[in-house]
Every structure is written in C-alpha cells, then in structure tokens.
A = this chain, B = another copy of it.
C-alpha cells in the first residue's frame, strides 16, 4: 500500500496536510521539483491511497455542534456478527465523529459531536439502551477540545 515514499513526498505530504490549497508551483519550490513532477506525485499518492481525501475542516460550534462527548462502550457478546452490526450503526450515525474498537476494559471508544445534552441523551437511547448487546457505557464530557485533527506525524525521512 505504501510504495516507498522519498523525502520529496514527505515534503509534499506535510505541506498539503497543513494546507491543501498551496499551489503546486509553490510545492515545487519547497520540494525542489517542477510543477509537473509535483502534479504527478500528488496523483500517484492519491491513487495509492496515501492521500485519502482532500477535505475542508469546519468549525463545529459555528454549525451548532458545541458539545464533544467521549464514550466508552462495553458489550455483552463479542460475537463477530454482533460487533459488525454495532460498528455499522456507529458508522452510520453522523454525530459519531470517530469510533475505535479497542482492547482492554471497554470495547469501543466513541467521540460524539452533538448540539446539546438533549441530543446526546436521545442518541444514547437509540444506540445503547435499545441495543441488547451494550452491557454498559461511560460518558466523558469534553470541557475543552485542546487539540483536534487527524494529522499524521511526518518525520524528516525514514524509508528514502
């Protein structure tokens, strides 16, 4: 899946992760490449799945989603089909930003983005209380989103 990234790729990836709108001409200056080479590399990186998508990060508060809640879910049974059905339900819920299947005390960690507590309570009914496979869940209310994002660390060099 990762076809040998060299240091030029690292420069490009770090740059577009920070700001996807920088012109390929400027990327070329930073990476010491022509715009044509930049264009080709970006295409290959996207085709290879290294670049998953170009996206705009929106301000949740500006859209009325002022409440972040982290939830730990414990399940009754770890039967594969039941887990998969739960994962589908979580994934389909737009208010669940992130879902991790974890090893340890609990089984899932979810990150909710909701308008208010009322909406969260309503979602817990549907997703947890009405789901026979949810044994327990623990709610952690975020007072501050200290650091957010899906940024991947990009070291100076590694494989090149």
Contacts and interface: CB of A to CB of B under 8 A. Distances in A.
B13 A58 contact: yes
Interface stretch (A30-38, A126-134, A141-149): A141-149
A113 interface: yes
Contact of A101 (B55, B101, B143): B143
B147 A19 contact: no
Contacts of A53: 19, 56-57
27 contacts: A2-B63, A13-B56, A16-B55, A18-B55, A19-B54, A50-B58, A50-B59, A50-B63, A51-B57, A51-B59, A52-B58, A54-B54, A55-B149, A57-B150, A65-B152, A65-B153, A70-B100, A70-B109, A94-B151, A97-B151, A102-B141, A103-B143, A104-B139, A104-B140, A108-B146, A109-B142, A148-B150
The 8 closest A-B pairs by CB, nearest first: A94-B153, A101-B144, A99-B146, A2-B62, A99-B147, A16-B56, A20-B54, A50-B62
